[in-house]
Structure 1
Amino acid sequence: MSSIIKTINPYNGEEIKEYKQFSKSKIETCLALSEKTFETWKHVEISDRTKLLKKLSKNLIKNKQVYSELMTEEMGKPISQSNTEIEKCVFLADFYAKNSDQFLADDLIKTDAKESFISYDPLGCILGVMPWNYPFWQVLRFAIPTITAGNTVLLKHASNVTGCALAIQDLFDASGFPKGCFQTLIADHDQIDALIADQRIKAISLTGSEKAGRHMAEIAGKNLKKAVLELGGNNACIVLADADLDKHIETMVAARMQNTGQSCIAAKRFIVVEAIYEEFLEKFTKKVNDLKIGDPKEPETRISVLARVDLADTLKKQVDSSIKKGAKVVIGNRKDQAYFEPTIIIDVKPGMSVFDDETFGPVAAIIKVKDNDEAYQMASNSKFGLGTMVFTENFLEARKQISQISDGAFFINELVKSDPRLPFGGTKASGYGRELSKEGIQEFVNKKTVYINH
């Protein structure tokens, strides 16, 4: 008997819809179709694939409000941010429609041969395991380049955004992609673990927690499958003494509070030089207090509920355990069901949960340091490696730190963000592999050496 998956609106706690989990035979049917479709899809000219991408882009625009409202209902994202997410997906589709032909073109290499080059051939059926926090963006930034490269995709989305998962499948189908290019699986983790062992699955892409990444990497490695892992983050926001707070304080607040703090690349740790600490804390606190909190369906809302009650419970435990070790709350730390009040916590030190771990919600940990050297050292004191941001007017000095920061991204006077034109990914416990840009579309291809003598 199939299990039932229920989606719940986290703002009002009401059930949205029920879905039947796929049976073993239904998953087999999807996998067989994916493999069959690949055999023809891989021969379709890239120019024809990108024509379908242009249709997909138009359908995203056409259905923007419907998709945005679905996201907001399923995981509580403020509606204005849901709209922005769909607009970013349009940018993504347009980027790969324009550039994929160039990214996948044979790369000619001069050798002793009459002709030698690298051919970028698709691998086959790729499995994507995706999270709920950006229900459309996370999926499409994986699926669009992967499918455009000639692969087919099976998606296991987070169960609380099952409606979004099925809507994305409908989006690909309505845009003219062959049946089987993109399919959503309503499945549990045991079913997915078993699927990875199937020889028809050629590679895996996972965006999720460090724990999920370690589990997936173990299964993928055991089965000799390539994996791209985009995992947790504990990004530092370094604020140096010469930072222009009046110019950048809103960016710093957005870096922590975007998506109600539920972002792997959000600024989790604010490392502030003592000369500017009091001014920063005053201005940062005022801006956080000014954020409109409420119903995610209201256009002015900037902070709403977390996606599930258990996520708020976890966040509360992290903050409270840090308080027991000496941290102090400036504002916030109130929880009500899935709601967690925007929180600023100071006197934070290594060894506290809000310093060491990923906090997935609107909690800003503030760390005071004496100078620039200590700021950069403190920023690097993390097992994660997604990104670091620094705010300073001395750009030349900040540039010298690029090679000293081992993260996957280094942003000066801007919050860390993903952009289709730039590769995205992390180091250390934040995973490996890259999404987006040229690097992303070449992750799931066979970089084949071709050597020809006449």
Structure 2
Amino acid sequence: MSATTYAVVNPATGETVKTYETISDDALKAAIGRAHDAHEGWGRGTSVEERAKIIARVAELHTERQDELAEIIVREMGKPIEQARGEVEFSAAIYQYYADNGAKLMADEPIELLEGEGSAFIRRSSVGLLLGIMPWNYPYYQVARFAGPNLVTGNTILLKHAPQCPESAAVMEEIFHAAGVPKDAYINIYATNEQIEWVIGDRRVQGVSLTGSGRAGAAVAEIAGRNLKKVVLELGGSDPFIVLKADDLDAVVEQAVGGRLENSGQACNAAKRFIVLDDLYDDFVEKFKTALTGVQPGDPTSTDTTVGPLSSTAAADRLEAQVKEALDNGAELLAGGGREGNFFKTAILTGITKDNPAYTEEFFGPVAQVYKVGSEAEAIALANDTPYGLGSYVFTTDNDQALRVADQIEAGMVFINAVGAEGVELPFGGVKASGFGRELGRFGADEFVNKKMIRVG
């Protein structure tokens, strides 16, 4: 199956539930034109307050249809049902945040003049048609982060979802239209990668937001750069989980397990590299080994399941090959491991050296890497010795140490003594190979707006 064949293939069973036709070139060109033309009425012809009311209805519809929406992504990418419901709930909260705060986020911002008479201010306005390219691991949440703020600010959207998420893509378009977003202001497109290349180059498209792999991000950024288009990229991560001091190590281990196994380990900002100070290392590893391997993959439709299948056979093949390569290059499988179909058992790798490919790779699945360090400085150096810079986690009972370490971590986000503490108001994004730009909060609403300076004499 090619990368641009849109189909629901249940990863738990291997069953192809339904296939979808890709859009023709002519239909795609027409969609670009309709979405571009719709900006006049949506972005300029309606107030931010009117748009906010509609997006509030989008939030309500997510809540009303929570079970239905959750069941769709269990089929599409194997997310455990309780986590799927939680994703729908968080997505609704994102839409509600932008509905509640849209007018404030778009309000004029005065500038204090250093000299001269009169006044000056920034007035925000939409820029026009945007292209969103979204991944499979959070089918609703990723779209909410992009579409929520940009529809409220008045932009129009073409949305290309991952080829394995056509059903959730279709139902989201349905929800937007049912809520009152004009039909042409949000258009779902089942487009191929080749088609997306010329969509980005179309002069009517004003910007692109992509969440995905580094390779996809580089390709999109290259095309966008040639065409002078603004881009927001949220790419991969290999987030460090640093353990420096602990009064309750069991509680830290519980957070570590949760941080690694969120979404069956398939989260860009999941804790992936566990960096532990030497005086805590042995106790941490023993407790972590027991707790992590005590969680086994299961039926994603069961409310008791924490880890489901990986999202596809290709994803399971990729992770299996990474683990084998890591072991071939000297790593030790400390605990767990193994695969049955697309179900991958939790595992812990240790002994990973700098010359091991695993040292710089992102492992997208329930496999943890654990490292021992002899000092705070060594922990920081190891945490930063990665191409990525998305999120990070610091666990210590010393508040001064926590902030001192946080200041030195090369990442877009640092969570101190907390996992799963993301919020609709908190900006999400990274540095280095994890991309650039921010989503969520006020920063997410400021990426694709014209911040026009108006000077009054």
Q: Which category of TM-score, normalised to the shorter sequence, fits these structures?
A: over 0.9
- Check whether the contact 1:5–1:20 (CA below 8 A) recurs between aligned residues: yes
Q: Could you tell which deviates more after superposition, 428-437 or 348-357?
A: 348-357
Alignment match, 2:267: 263
Matches within 5 A, 1:47-446: 47-111=49-113, 112-242=116-246, 244-415=248-419, 418-446=422-450
- Check whether the contact 2:360–2:386 (CA below 8 A) recurs between aligned residues: yes
Runs of 4+ in 1 over 4 A off after TM superposition: none
Partner Cα separation in structure 2 for residue 113 and residue 210 of structure 1: 49
Counterpart of 2:402 in structure 1: which amino acid?
A
Partner Cα separation in structure 2 for residue 286 and residue 165 of structure 1: 39
Partner Cα separation in structure 2 for residue 442 and residue 58 of structure 1: 24
After superposition, the Cα gap between the structure-2 partners of 1:4 and 1:326, relative to the gap in structure 1 and judged at 3 Å, is closer
- Check whether the contact 1:328–1:347 (CA below 8 A) recurs between aligned residues: yes
After superposition, the Cα gap between the structure-2 partners of 1:245 and 1:225, relative to the gap in structure 1 and judged at 3 Å, is same
- Check whether the contact 2:245–2:397 (CA below 8 A) recurs between aligned residues: no
Render the CA deviation track for 1:124-163: whole Å, top value 9, x for unaligned: 0000000000000001111110111100011110000111
Q: CA deviation at 1:353?
A: 2.9
Partner Cα separation in structure 2 for residue 28 and residue 132 of structure 1: 25
Q: CA deviation at 1:266?
A: 0.5
Partner Cα separation in structure 2 for residue 241 and residue 392 of structure 1: 4
Partner Cα separation in structure 1 for residue 119 and residue 183 of structure 2: 37
Q: CA deviation at 1:113?
A: 4.4
Instruction: Please state whether the residue corresponding to 1:7 is helix, strand or coil.
Output: strand
> What is the RMSD computed on CA atoms of the aligned residues?
1.3
- Check whether the contact 2:392–2:413 (CA below 8 A) recurs between aligned residues: yes
Q: CA deviation at 1:214?
A: 0.7
Instruction: Please state whether the residue corresponding to 1:96 is helix, strand or coil.
Output: helix
Q: CA deviation at 1:447?
A: 0.8
Partner Cα separation in structure 1 for residue 57 and residue 91 of structure 2: 13
Instruction: Please state whether the residue corresponding to 2:272 is helix, strand or coil.
Output: strand
Q: CA deviation at 1:417?
A: 5.2
Render the CA deviation track for 1:381-435: whole Å, top value 9, x for unaligned: 1110001111111121111123211210111111265321111100000000111
After superposition, the Cα gap between the structure-2 partners of 1:113 and 1:29, relative to the gap in structure 1 and judged at 3 Å, is farther
- Check whether the contact 1:238–1:270 (CA below 8 A) recurs between aligned residues: yes
After superposition, the Cα gap between the structure-2 partners of 1:286 and 1:94, relative to the gap in structure 1 and judged at 3 Å, is same
Q: CA deviation at 1:47?
A: 0.8
Q: CA deviation at 1:292?
A: 4.6
- Check whether the contact 2:7–2:165 (CA below 8 A) recurs between aligned residues: no
Render the CA deviation track for 1:149-180: whole Å, top value 9, x for unaligned: 10001111000011111111011011111111
Counterpart of 2:210 in structure 1: which amino acid?
L
Q: CA deviation at 1:273?
A: 1.1
Render the CA deviation track for 1:83-106: whole Å, top value 9, x for unaligned: 000110111111111111111101
Structure 2 unpaired stretches of 5+:
none
Of all paired residues, the percent bearing the same amino acid is 38
Q: CA deviation at 1:4?
A: 5.6
Render the CA deviation track for 1:22-54: whole Å, top value 9, x for unaligned: 001111121111011101111211111111111
After superposition, the Cα gap between the structure-2 partners of 1:352 and 1:107, relative to the gap in structure 1 and judged at 3 Å, is same
- Check whether the contact 1:330–1:344 (CA below 8 A) recurs between aligned residues: yes
Structure 1 unpaired stretches of 5+:
none
Q: Could you tell which deviates more after superposition, 164-173 or 351-360?
A: 351-360
What TM-score do the two structures reach when normalised by structure 2?
0.96
Instruction: Please state whether the residue corresponding to 2:359 is helix, strand or coil.
Output: helix
Alignment match, 2:22: 21
- Check whether the contact 1:203–1:226 (CA below 8 A) recurs between aligned residues: yes
- Check whether the contact 2:293–2:347 (CA below 8 A) recurs between aligned residues: no
